[in-house]
Structure 1
Amino acid sequence: MKKRIYNQTSLFGPAYAYLIVLSPPSEIRNSIVCMKQDLDALGDIGGKNRHSIPHITLRDKLTDDEFLPDTIKELLKRNGNKPFLIKVNGWSYFDHQHSVTIYLKIENPEPIVNLMVALKSPSRTPHISLAKRISYTTFDTIRPYLDKLEYSAGWLCSEVVVLRKLMSKKELGYKDKYPIPLQDNNEDTP
């Protein structure tokens, strides 16, 4: 399959990368950032892991649809999603057979999985990544820290955030942010 050249004019418009996430409040993000710094000091988890902002990914999508945030808002509205409590407790990891991803576990994943289903996400394991695709050697080095880690947190999730970046300028990162409030169907949207 041919790859699209993102800085080339398209018949369908520019290509965008979207990242649809749930974002913890700043105090929880800050505590997770401190954990990442500790992990990096112990085993060099890499700049991308060190600097990524803590979040729960619901879906990512590459498309030329500049109105995708509006579509997501309508999908969420039709599915009657309302605010819910997110509980983070403990850690685990994914073994990719050549690397490891360390993450914080979500204690009550059902409401998040329901959002993933509504957004047609292929993923069904909500989590907050601490370090993606690190070597087994790095994992073995930081494992004693993780084994002593007793982290738990919780917050009321009241919005979904859609981040967008223009693929022809992807090195600039996600520049556009579209917060979408979660609310009862009985509530009127302003």
Structure 2
Amino acid sequence: MNISKKGQILLFPPPELNDYLIVVSPPIEIKKETKKLNAKINKMMGSEGSHNAHISMFTQAWEKDSHLLERLKKTVSDVSSFPIAINGVDVFSHGTKKKTVYLKIENPKPIQQLYEAFKAELKIKKEFTPHLTIEKNIAIADFEKIQNDLSIFNHQCEWICDRITVLKFNKKTNSYKLVDEILLKDAKTS
């Protein structure tokens, strides 16, 4: 018997939802440079890992690709391309057990405004700090191996954000796959 969250009996099973990740992806050259930073940090820690560079905005669960894409396209329909500048390295703490090393966004306001538009349209409750992750969920013991040399992971770069990338989680492969890239307003005519 199918029961809803409110305790009601359902005649049909609830729809299966897919997990989507919405990101801003840098150009391939910047992804390559970030991959080098990721390799360097993992070598110093004596671990292995790989991270595909992007600015994670949020995750959403939806039944169908088309429904989410429609809402995302509506949200960005009046948003123009904007520059993103990266400069500086910093750390997020995840309690007392893990850390994330990331590159700072010098001009976070346009990304933050885009996020706020998505937040309003999709009823997102989570807060957002724009950043480009080098390595995430680093155990404290591993972080202690690199904490005095964080400045060597700094990278300065800039690009024009003209699209958002929509990824869908594949449970069988335990990875995200590209669903679509949604162009911002002025990128459609360029």
Q: Distance in 2 between matches of 1:93 and 1:117?
A: 23
Query: Matches of residues 2-41 of structure 1 in structure 2 within 5 Å?
Result: 11-41=13-43
CA distance 1:170–1:63, change in 2 (3 Å): farther
Which structure dedicates a bigger proportion of its chain to strand?
2
Q: Distance in 2 between matches of 1:111 and 1:165?
A: 27
Query: Matches of residues 14-93 of structure 1 in structure 2 within 5 Å?
Result: 14-44=16-46, 46=48, 50-67=49-66, 68-77=68-77, 80-93=78-91
Gaps of 5+ in 2: 6-11
Gaps of 5+ in 1: 4-9
Correspondence 1:118 to 2:120: no
Q: Is the 8 A contact 2:37 2:153 kept in 1?
A: no
Q: Distance in 2 between matches of 1:84 and 1:38?
A: 30
Please, what TM-score do these two structures have when normalized by structure 2? 0.81
Q: Distance in 1 between matches of 2:47 and 2:51?
A: 11
Q: Is the 8 A contact 1:59 1:123 kept in 2?
A: no
For the aligned residue pairs, the C-alpha RMSD in angstroms reads 2.3
Correspondence 1:158 to 2:162: yes
1:179 counterpart residue number: 181
Bigger shift: 65-74 or 51-60? 65-74
Q: Distance in 2 between matches of 1:102 and 1:44?
A: 16
Q: Is the 8 A contact 2:76 2:185 kept in 1?
A: no
Once the two structures are superposed, residues 60-113 of structure 1 have per-residue CA deviations (whole angstroms, 9 ceiling, x without a partner) of 112224320121011111xx2100000000110111222111111000000000
Q: Distance in 2 between matches of 1:146 and 1:58?
A: 24
Local SS of the residue matching 1:141:
coil
Please, what TM-score do these two structures have when normalized by structure 1? 0.81
1:7 counterpart residue number: none
Q: Distance in 1 between matches of 2:58 and 2:33?
A: 24
Q: Percent identity?
A: 31
Tell me the number of residue pairs that the alignment of Structure 1 and Structure 2 aligns: 173
CA-CA distance at 1:14 after TM superposition = 3.0
CA distance 1:91–1:133, change in 2 (3 Å): same
2:94 counterpart residue number: 96
Q: Distance in 2 between matches of 1:76 and 1:12?
A: 30
Q: Distance in 1 between matches of 2:41 and 2:188?
A: 45
Q: Distance in 1 between matches of 2:178 and 2:153?
A: 34
CA distance 1:64–1:40, change in 2 (3 Å): same
Local SS of the residue matching 2:41:
helix
Greater relative CO, 1 or 2 (CA 8 Å, sep 6+) = 1
Correspondence 1:142 to 2:130: no
CA distance 1:170–1:75, change in 2 (3 Å): farther
Local SS of the residue matching 1:91:
strand
